Amino acid sequence: MNIGIIIYSQSGNTRKVAGKLQTRLNQSGHQSRIEEITINGKVPAQPGQFELSDIPEPGEYDAVILGSPVQAFNLNPVMRAYLDQLPAMQGIEVAFFITKQLPVKWTGGTQAVGIMKDACVAKGAVVKGAEIIFWTAGKRQERIEQAVENLVALF
């Protein structure tokens, strides 16, 4: 499949996972590409105080994997702004991954995934699954590898 890995990464963690995911997808026979959402405005982005600069087009792909950090117990505002302007995604398969610091529940991961799912379903996409990666959790490398394998297995 032709798979787009569309991410926002402020400090590099999400980008790092995306790189591993691209490698494994391509080893599995897919063609995948990483595209980064970028902004004009101060970092960390505050809602309403930035503009999207690079806006990847999901319609170019058979499947899209969206990756984003949690910020302030919620989905990062840049990914939220990207989702707000999504075009139709009828029939496109989607999956998600989230990176976050705090390895405990109720600190934004599940909520972030829910927002991504709802936005993509509203545009006609077919949701396949999601992974949440706690950046400070023990065995982080193993967790990243497991999350990547789980995502690859969806396609």
Question: Which residues of this chain interact with ligand FMN, rule CB under 6 A?
Answer: 9-15, 44, 69-73, 99-102, 107-108, 135
Closer to ligand FMN by CB, 18 or 95: give it: 18
Closer to ligand FMN by CB, 92 or 113: give it: 113
Q: How far is the CB of 126 from ligand FMN (least distance, A)?
A: 26
Closer to ligand FMN by CB, 27 or 136: give it: 136
Q: How far is the CB of 113 from ligand FMN (least distance, A)?
A: 13
Q: How far is the CB of 100 from ligand FMN (least distance, A)?
A: 3
Q: How far is the CB of 124 from ligand FMN (least distance, A)?
A: 28
Angle formed by the axes of helices 77-84 and 109-122, nearest 10°: 10
Closer to ligand FMN by CB, 18 or 152: give it: 18
**Rounded Cα–Cα distance for residues 58 and 108 (Å):** 25
